[in-house]
Structure 1
């Protein structure tokens, strides 16, 4: 596996951490920490374009509390910005029910998504992302 660690200030208050990951022919951007604003979705899009990576892996711990509060609309808007650029997006959420019934329903629906799909574990997410190439 080849990877490059990227850390860049997304704003003065937060630093988003992302890695370019490559396994065989598959390449994706893995976002590990520091998402604080909707504009950072476009930063992920730019990273994908720069590194010819058509996929994004979002770790649960990388996302802000607003992502898990559906009334904030953060989750929908953030994911929509990524899929508008035809990126395959996998989210790894160990226990979606921990964020409430409505968010759990959102995740259950996303488990069948075509461009945004949710997984319980990283390995299953990587298998799906590799198949998106």
Structure 2
């Protein structure tokens, strides 16, 4: 079950790690719809909900999720260890590094590190 947190000026929808996989444009849109329905401004999405195709940038799934979030004025934080994917892809490492410098898509090790980023802890 998803939880809501208020950290800093953000309302964070922390998604359940055992929820449906985000593996298509449709599932990304469903996730955005859930966040909007909860009046969230940030989606905290466990990395385990993202299959290998998400981390293969050529599939476009990561871009779909990022674009949908931006279109609806949401932020997305992928939470958890993605080191095995980073080791396998220079392009993904570059995208993660650049995303973490910006304000719409982040990759965080834990919910606690996301809370710290948002000024909630």
Q: TM-score, normalised by structure 2?
A: 0.78
In the alignment, the residues of structure 2 paired with residue 99 and residue 87 of structure 1 have an alpha-carbon distance, to the nearest angstrom, of 28
Deviation by residue 1:60-111 (Cα, 9 ceiling, x = unmatched): 1110211111111111112111121001211224225234222111111111
Classify 1:81/1:130 alpha carbon distance in 2 versus 1 (closer, same or farther; 3 Å): farther
Q: Which has the higher helix share?
A: 2
Structure having the higher Rg? 1
User: Over aligned residue pairs, what C-alpha RMSD do you find?
Assistant: 2.3
Contact 2:66/2:104, CA 8 A, preserved across alignment: no
Classify 1:130/1:54 alpha carbon distance in 2 versus 1 (closer, same or farther; 3 Å): farther
Contact 1:28/1:56, CA 8 A, preserved across alignment: yes
Per chain length, whose mean CA-contact separation is higher, i.e. which structure has more relative contact order (CA < 8 Å, sep 6+)? 2
In the alignment, the residues of structure 1 paired with residue 23 and residue 115 of structure 2 have an alpha-carbon distance, to the nearest angstrom, of 24
In the alignment, the residues of structure 1 paired with residue 36 and residue 119 of structure 2 have an alpha-carbon distance, to the nearest angstrom, of 17
Q: Which has the higher strand share?
A: 1
**1:125 alignment counterpart:** 114
Count residues with an aligned counterpart. 114
In the alignment, the residues of structure 1 paired with residue 87 and residue 43 of structure 2 have an alpha-carbon distance, to the nearest angstrom, of 23
Counterpart mapping for 1:72-111 below 5 A: 72-94=59-81, 95=83, 96-111=85-100
Q: TM-score, normalised by structure 1?
A: 0.72
Give the counterpart of 2:28 among 32, 38, 41.
41
Structure 1 unpaired stretches of 5+: 6-18
1:22 aligned onto 2:5: yes
